[in-house]
Amino acid sequence: MLAGVGFAFAMGWLVTTWRPQFLVLIEPPAIVLTLGAGLLMALLGALVPARSVARLAPAEVFRR
């Protein structure tokens, strides 16, 4: 996730350098909100499959 923030800053600098008429402004609250949303989506994306696998018997998990 932090690599994405660094990439956004780099691309913002690149766009502003190549085309000065376009102002790219990245605000700290937007970074925090984006990191929080990404973390929440990752946790939910891992929780759903983990819950379905946890309900199966151990031998059943390896048969599928």
Query: What ranges do the domains of the chain cover?
Result: 27-55
- CA nearest 34: which of 57, 11, 5, 13? 5
Q: What is the pLDDT of residue 36?
A: 93
Please give the chain's pLDDT, 64 residues, in tens: 779 889 999 999 999 999 999 999 999 999 999 999 999 999 999 998 888 888 888 887 777 6
Phi, psi of 24 (to 5 degrees): -105, 115
